[in-house]
Amino acid sequence: MKISVVKNIMEANQRIAEENRRRFQEHALMVINLMSSPGAGKTTLLEKTISLLKDDYKVGVVEGDIQSTYDAERIGRTGAPVVQINTGGACHLDSNMVQEALKNLEFQNLNLLFIENVGNLVCPAEFALGEDFKAMILSVAEGDDKPLKYPLMFRESSVLLINKIDLLPFCDCQPDLIEERALKINPRLTIFRVSCRTGEGLSRWTDWLRQRLPPRSRGKNSSEP
Amino acid sequence: MKISVVKNIMEANQRIAEENRRRFQEHALMVINLMSSPGAGKTTLLEKTISLLKDDYKVGVVEGDIQSTYDAERIGRTGAPVVQINTGGACHLDSNMVQEALKNLEFQNLNLLFIENVGNLVCPAEFALGEDFKAMILSVAEGDDKPLKYPLMFRESSVLLINKIDLLPFCDCQPDLIEERALKINPRLTIFRVSCRTGEGLSRWTDWLRQRLPPRSRGKNSSEP
């Protein structure tokens, strides 16, 4: 008998991710799996994005952390519905954790759901969650060599947000090099340079989201016919 | 029959780590397992540390990366002996990888060996390599909430280097909060605030190393009796 444990784990993850995806599609819900190193700015990006979209769309968040509810509390203060997953040590989210989390979130009423993954530039890229798009953030403080050293996440992502560009004058980081190296790995990557702190560049990112949100879902909860 | 795969993996790792440790001790070699998020400044810290210590000690490096030899090339330019481990996808080093790497490094002549782990604030903390000390770097650009969200590495480390303090005027990060939160998790943690870019604070870190290096190993390769 041939046993391949790793393959089975990944297959089970893929199967549950497809179940999640079908449920999201039933409700015309766009889902983004947001990944980055610790401290690259995932939660701040979500705070700002929610604020820019909330007049037109209902946005919810699944927060993934090893422990604590610190990030979910930050999101909760924006008024967006949020549920926290504590992985209890695991360094990434998997599709089953997300399926469990959905029991505690009224995602049926949402237009856009962000799943904020555990801060880790390596493992999250390997696990599909049922998302429409993977998006990643790289802070310029991390340096321009990251695509060379952590290529998988750049390959898997549809969007790269180069964040903290307000720090560029004080860092030895060339954003052109990040773009060049990232596009060599993944020529279809859409790249935005942003500062979640100052707000610079964020409207181009939210325009990208608006273009992809199902037009009919706009004003889903509006009282107008 | 009771099978516990995870326990066996961790036990095997521990056993090989002890073998590594015995070999290091035979040669009076101090070994530091250096961990951090991607881009917190591990390789730059090593470049600067080697430069500050090289007149008195022989320092070598084991470089851990998922792929590429970019960091090993940087270390090689300092003149220090270096060997690169490519984990091929794995998000942390384990003791067996280090044992293999030692075959390609003349560590018997060294006083101090740094093992630069894969950039990841989660998984490396779980795997002993045979080191004397674990040291971790946190960049102030990552934010002051990291001890709350990634406590294991703070708990396992003997030293915390708070790096990139030259960016403090431009970040929403309070280093006092990092220290307070880290010390609550691990009261025995030794903390240094440094800027590997400007060199600020690095002599306190190298003093800490000098105090712990075996005095007799000083000038190990000296021609004097």
Q: How far is CA B22 from the centre of its chain?
A: 19
Secondary structure string (H, E, C) spanning chain A: CCCCHHHHHHHHHHHHHHHHHHHHHHCCCEEEEEEECCCCCHHHHHHHHHHHHCCCCCEEEEEEECCCCHHHHHHHCCCCCEEEEECCCCCCCCHHHHHHHHCCCCHHHCCEEEEECCCCCCHHHHCCCCCCEEEEEEEHHHCCCHHHHCHHHHHHCCEEEEECHHHHHHCCCCHHHHHHHHHHHCCCCEEEECCCCCCCCHHHHHHHHHHHCCHHHCCCCCCCC
**A121 has pLDDT over 50:** yes
Long-range contacts of B76-83 (CB under 8 A, 24+ apart): B78/B47, B78/B50, B78/B51, B78/B54, B79/B50, B79/B54, B80/B50, B80/B54, B81/B105, B81/B106, B81/B110
Q: Do B119 and A123 touch (CB under 8 A)?
A: no
Report which of residues A216 and A167 the model is more confident about.
A167
Task: Say what the ipTM of the complex is.
Answer: 0.89
**A187 has pLDDT over 60:** yes
pLDDT number for residue B18: 98
Task: Tell me which chain A residues have a C-beta less than 8 angstroms from the C-beta of B122.
Answer: 66, 91, 118-120
**B225 has pLDDT over 50:** no
Q: What backbone torsions phi and psi does residue B56 show, to the nearest 5 degrees?
A: -115, -25
**Range in A178-182, B7-11, B112-116 the model is least confident about:** B7-11
Mean pLDDT score, A75-101:
96
Q: Mean pLDDT for chain B?
A: 93
pLDDT number for residue A118: 97
Contact indicator for A116, B87 with CB cutoff of 8 Å: no
Task: Tell me which chain B residues have a C-beta less than 8 angstroms from the C-beta of A65.
Answer: 149
Q: Mean pLDDT for chain A?
A: 93
C-alpha distances (whole Å) from A16 to each of A9, B100, B182 are: 11, 38, 37
pLDDT number for residue A8: 78
Tens of pLDDT, residues B91-145: 999 999 999 999 999 999 999 999 999 999 999 999 999 999 999 999 999 999 9
Q: Do A142 and B166 touch (CB under 8 A)?
A: no
pLDDT number for residue A194: 98
Dig out the tokens for A106 from the structure.
């009224």
| Residue A7 binned pLDDT confidence (cut-offs 50, 70, 90) | low
Q: d(Cα B42, Cα B33) in Å, to the nearest integer? A: 11
Q: Do B141 and A197 touch (CB under 8 A)?
A: no
Mean pLDDT score, B78-86:
96
Interface of A with B in 149-178 (CB under 8 A): 149-152, 164, 166-167, 170-172
C-alpha distances (whole Å) from A26 to each of A134, A138, A193 are: 20, 32, 33
Tens of pLDDT, residues A190-219: 999 999 999 999 999 999 999 999 775 444
Question: CB distance from B127 to chain A under 8 Å?
Answer: no
Per cent of chain B over pLDDT 70 is 92
Name the residue type at position B73: E
Q: Do B120 and A118 touch (CB under 8 A)?
A: no
Buried b (16+ CB within 10 A) or exposed e, B190-221: ebbbbbbbeeebbeebbeebbeebeeebeebe
Q: d(Cα B92, Cα B107) in Å, to the nearest integer? A: 22
Q: Which of B5, B66, B141 sits opposite A164 (nearest CB)?
A: B141
**B66 has pLDDT over 90:** yes
pLDDT number for residue A224: 42
pLDDT number for residue B222: 45
pLDDT number for residue B224: 42
Mean pLDDT score, B167-183:
97
